[in-house]
Chains A and B, each alone.
Chain A
Amino acid sequence: SQQGEEDPQALSIQEGENATMNCSYKTSINNLQWYRQNSGRGLVHLILIRSNEREKHSGRLRVTLDTSKKSSSLLITASRAADTASYFCASQTGANNLFFGTGTRLTVIP
């Protein structure tokens, strides 16, 4: 399988705390993307980091990429109850296919 792995599988934190999710992938990539999925809904794109980038920020999101280790992390700062969702990393190859990880289910407790 070309899908990656995410760690942890589930994460529960208090509102206001930071949440960190990690992702590993298997093949060379053009970019790595993070998506969010609320229960019973489709996926929503959060952020994209290209293979020649090491860190990227977007609002309360911070993404890092280490191509030598084939890994990425997503940090959500100052979490809110509305951040409760599943988060997926997806590696995009030259053929423009997206290969998704197994996801991290984040619960933010008010």
Chain B
Amino acid sequence: EAGVAQSPRYKIIEKRQSVAFWCNPISGHATLYWYQQILGQGPKLLIQFQNNGVVDDSQLPKDRFSAERLKGVDSTLKIQPAKLEDSAVYLCASSPDRAQPGELFFGEGSRLTVL
């Protein structure tokens, strides 16, 4: 079974530029999450999708971050304009069924450096 795919693995941009990250969850997984992990810290939830609907985006900085999950499969996370403090690893995760709490399956992450 293929795992969660993320791209790009690494991205370096100047502040005020924009960036987009892509995630393809495990086939059949209804729930998709984006987490931000700053160096030395635990992952922080940015947004949770159930199929193509947003379940929780309370911690998403909506003035600069946006995310979508068209057709309930792939997802894209965008940052525009980027700030220095956005330097982090952006982790995508998926799980089979929101109604059944259980483990999340994580991708390898996309490491963003903002200069």
Contacts from A to B (Cβ < 8 Å): 3, 30-31, 33, 35, 40-45, 48, 88, 90, 92, 95-103
Contact stretch, chosen from B14-22, B73-81, B97-105: B97-105
**B43 at interface (Cβ–Cβ under 8 A)?**
yes
Q: Tell me which residues across on chain A come within 8 A of B56, comparing CB atoms.
A: 95, 97
Q: Can you offer 14 A-B residue contacts whose CB atoms are under 8 A?
A: A31-B101, A42-B91, A42-B107, A42-B108, A43-B91, A45-B104, A45-B105, A88-B43, A92-B101, A96-B98, A98-B104, A100-B35, A101-B42, A102-B41
A43 touches B41 (CB 8 A): no
CB distance from B100 to the nearest CB of A (A): 8
Q: Tell me which residues across on chain A come within 8 A of B51, comparing CB atoms.
A: none
Q: Tell me which residues across on chain A come within 8 A of B105, comparing CB atoms.
A: 45
B109 touches A41 (CB 8 A): yes
Q: How many B residues face the partner with a CB closer than 8 A? A: 27
B41 touches A103 (CB 8 A): yes
Contacts from B to A (Cβ < 8 Å): 4, 31, 33, 35, 41-45, 48, 55-56, 91, 93, 95, 98-99, 101-109, 111
A48 touches B103 (CB 8 A): yes
Separation of A42 and B103 alpha carbons in the complex (Å)? 14
